[in-house]
């Protein structure tokens, strides 16, 4: 980018975005303020490695890594030797990847789902990424919210353990002012049938 403001704008648009469970990170390139040449700034996107490729890079083969609802993965070992090899190497490299590692049980897998929400009534002066992030644990904002094409409502995708349809009215505080904001789960009609959106 030629200008710092362009780089900041690109980073603001990228930072915190999620694309089907993948995180996009962005950061500034290092530069010194004393440089005599024209400084250039850029956004950096980290490479994503799938959990299956990560495990195989550590030398553990004959394993299948299955994604489950929410943020959970199930490791299926086809041979006892593969599981023993993983345990012999220690779990330190798995701890660098996962928050928690435990043997499977019938209580292990939780019911989570990803859904899209519409947020109505948010005042223009608090319409920004941080406000939406505070409203819910956001996986990604809707395209119309990021492009700022209109302010009738904002959309966001969230992960939730609520299995029923989401309809709520919350209070958003900005300074000393409080605003009533309505949150509604977005549903689609497909072939005259009603479905919740799934990603």
Other CB atoms closer than 10 Å to residue 33's CB: what's the count?
5
What pTM was estimated for this model as a whole?
Answer: 0.45
For 81-104, the pLDDT digits (tens) are: 877 777 777 666 677 667 777 777
In sign, the C-alpha dihedral spanning 180, 144, 18, 106 is positive
The answer to whether 169 and 126 have CB atoms below 8 angstroms apart is: no
**Unique residue bearing structure tokens 């549903």:** 187
Other CB atoms closer than 10 Å to residue 140's CB: what's the count?
21
DSSP 31: -
Residue 194 has pLDDT above 70, yes or no: no
Among 21, 66, 46, 49, residue whose Cα is nearest residue 158: 21
Structure tokens at 75: 């490791």
167 beta partners: 184
Q: What is the per-residue pLDDT for 37? A: 43
What is the rounded CA–CA span in Å between residue 106 and residue 110?
Answer: 10
**Unique residue bearing structure tokens 């999620």:** 18
**Looking at 14-18, 126-130, 163-167, which range is the least confident one?**
14-18
> At 105, phi and psi to the nearest 5?
-145, 170
Among 95, 162, 169, residue whose Cα is nearest residue 135: 169
- Give the CA diameter of the chain: 64
- How much is the average pLDDT of 99-110? 69
Give the model's confidence band at 33: pLDDT under 50 very low, under 70 low, under 90 confident, else very high: very low
User: Which helix or strand (DSSP H or E) is residue 88 part of?
Assistant: helix 80-89
Percentage of the chain lying above the pLDDT 70 cut: 53
Straight-line distance from the first to the last Cα atom of the chain, in angstroms, rounded to the nearest whole number: 33
The answer to whether 135 and 172 have CB atoms below 8 angstroms apart is: yes
Give the model's confidence band at 53: pLDDT under 50 very low, under 70 low, under 90 confident, else very high: confident
What is the rounded CA–CA span in Å between residue 75 and residue 60?
Answer: 11
Per-chain mean pLDDT for the chain: 67
């Amino acid at each position: 980018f030629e200008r710092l403001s362009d780089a900041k704008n690109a980073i603001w648009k990228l930072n915190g975005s999620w694309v089907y469970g993948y995180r996009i990170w962005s950061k500034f390139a290092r530069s010194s303020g004393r440089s005599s040449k024209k400084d250039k700034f850029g956004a950096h996107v980290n490479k994503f490695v799938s959990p299956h490729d990560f495990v195989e890079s550590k030398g553990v083969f004959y394993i299948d890594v299955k994604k489950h609802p929410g943020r959970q993965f199930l490791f299926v070992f086809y041979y006892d030797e593969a599981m023993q090899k993983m345990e012999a190497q220690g779990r330190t490299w798995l701890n660098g990847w996962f928050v928690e590692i435990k043997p499977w049980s019938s209580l292990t897998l939780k019911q989570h789902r990803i859904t899209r929400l519409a947020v109505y009534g948010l005042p223009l002066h608090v319409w920004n990424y941080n406000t939406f992030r505070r409203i819910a644990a956001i996986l990604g904002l809707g395209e119309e919210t990021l492009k700022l094409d209109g302010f009738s409502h904002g959309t966001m995708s969230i992960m939730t353990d609520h299995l029923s349809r989401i309809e709520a009215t919350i209070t958003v505080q900005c300074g000393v002012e409080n605003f009533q904001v309505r949150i509604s789960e977005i549903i689609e009609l497909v072939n005259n049938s009603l479905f919740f959106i799934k990603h």
